């Protein structure tokens, strides 16, 4: 279920818009003005921002500038929903780079269709920027962004969040004994196996050089460790070296850590676990 942040100072208009979106299958968060929206965005993940323009404290134009100044929201769709139907206002919004400009009144079907279109466009871009096109795993940059969001979310909700780091133990020897392309091929196969064993909502990222990081929400570190041990026990991956037709085993190791609740420095935990698989060339 996608989450839409509705920013509108009129209680009546905000309620109507939220009702339309909820009927369309969206989760809705509400903000009374731009400043309220920024406070929400510091603590909650949203998939699209739908905002009025004329508001106290921080209007829609100001909110857009603040949002786009933060690189972490580069791919978050931003849509104006306003009674300002003057063509100059619409041109101003679209020239700034907003994803859509919807004028009121709007029917529920029109609103939902325009929101879905903006989300689909964003998803295509996110797939390009956030997923490795070869391994189909999340990239390191995306993982670090999601890492901060998930840690904050789970802490606020007092939910468990565990980190598992899996590394190809013989990655360096694969590079030295065979070739770098062979080691990368082994990492691709290993990543696919890890993704297949993970849950659909886990975040699984290729951190490079045969190292993978997995965020497992709503799971204690004990259960995460049991999952990693099962993965390790059932691991049976090897690739054929074409020159000799010999099959070369791909070995893995893992670390597990708690990120929430209770970890005061989750970033240090991430760095420590990744460093344990740092390659010594």
Q: What is the CATH number of the domain that holds 230?
A: 3.30.70.270
With H, G, I as helix, E, B as strand and everything else as coil, classify residue 175. helix
Query: Is there a single domain that holds both residue 106 and residue 124?
Result: yes
**pLDDT, average across residues 153-159:** 89
From 109-118, 141-150, 204-213, the region with the lowest mean pLDDT: 141-150
For residues 225 and 158, the answer to whether their CB atoms sit within 8 Å is no
DSSP 8-state code for residue 59: -
Query: Is there a single domain that holds both residue 74 and residue 145?
Result: no
Query: Is there a single domain that holds both residue 95 and residue 151?
Result: no
Q: Is it the case that residue 105 has pLDDT exceeding 60?
A: yes
Query: Is there a single domain that holds both residue 248 and residue 189?
Result: yes
Ramachandran angles phi, psi of 258, nearest 5°: -90, 135
Query: Is there a single domain that holds both residue 266 and residue 147?
Result: yes
| Chosen domain end from 130, 165, 182 | 130
Query: Is there a single domain that holds both residue 217 and residue 246?
Result: yes
Tell me whether residue 238 is in a domain: yes
Query: Could you tell me the residue range of the domain that residue 251 belongs to?
Result: 140-275
Express each pLDDT in 5-50 by its tens digit.
Answer: 999 999 999 999 999 999 999 999 999 999 999 999 887 778 899 9
Distances (CA, A) of 173 to 170, 233, 243, 252: 5, 22, 17, 13
For residues 122 and 48, the answer to whether their CB atoms sit within 8 Å is yes
Express each pLDDT in 68-93 by its tens digit.
Answer: 888 778 889 999 998 877 788 788 87
Tell me whether residue 196 is in a domain: yes
Give the tokens for residue 56. 């106290």
Global pTM reads 0.57
The domain tally of the chain equals 2
Q: Which long-range contacts (CB under 8 A, 24 or more apart) does 201-204 make?
A: 203/138, 203/143, 203/146, 203/147, 203/150, 204/137, 204/138
Tell me whether residue 135 is in a domain: no
């Amino acid at each position: 279920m996608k989450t839409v942040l509705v920013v509108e100072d009129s209680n009546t208009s905000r309620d109507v818009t939220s009702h339309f979106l909820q009927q369309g299958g969206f989760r809705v968060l509400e903000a009374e003005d731009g400043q309220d929206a920024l406070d929400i965005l510091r603590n909650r993940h949203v998939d699209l921002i739908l905002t009025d323009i004329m508001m106290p404290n921080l209007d829609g134009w100001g909110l857009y500038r603040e949002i786009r100044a933060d690189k972490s929201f580069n791919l978050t769709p931003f849509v104006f929903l306003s009674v300002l139907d003057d063509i100059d206002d619409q041109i101003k919004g679209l020239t700034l780079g907003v994803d859509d400009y919807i004028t009121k009144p709007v029917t529920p079907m029109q609103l939902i269709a325009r929101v879905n279109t903006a989300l689909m466009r964003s998803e295509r871009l996110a797939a390009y920027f956030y997923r490795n096109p070869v391994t189909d795993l999340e990239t390191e940059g995306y993982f670090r962004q999601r890492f901060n969001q998930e840690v904050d979310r789970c802490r606020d909700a007092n939910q468990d969040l565990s980190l598992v780091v899996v590394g190809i133990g013989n990655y360096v020897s694969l590079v030295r004994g065979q070739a770098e392309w062979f080691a990368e091929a082994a990492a691709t196969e290993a990543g696919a196996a890890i993704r297949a064993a993970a849950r659909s909502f886990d975040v699984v990222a290729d951190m490079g050089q045969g190292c993978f990081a997995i965020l497992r929400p709503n799971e204690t570190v004990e259960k995460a460790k049991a999952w990693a041990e099962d993965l390790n026990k059932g691991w049976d991956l090897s690739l054929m070296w074409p020159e000799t037709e010999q099959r070369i085993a791909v070995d893995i190791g893992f670390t597990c850590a708690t990120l929430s609740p209770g970890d005061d420095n989750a970033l240090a935990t991430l760095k420590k676990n990744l460093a344990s698989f740092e390659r010594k060339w």
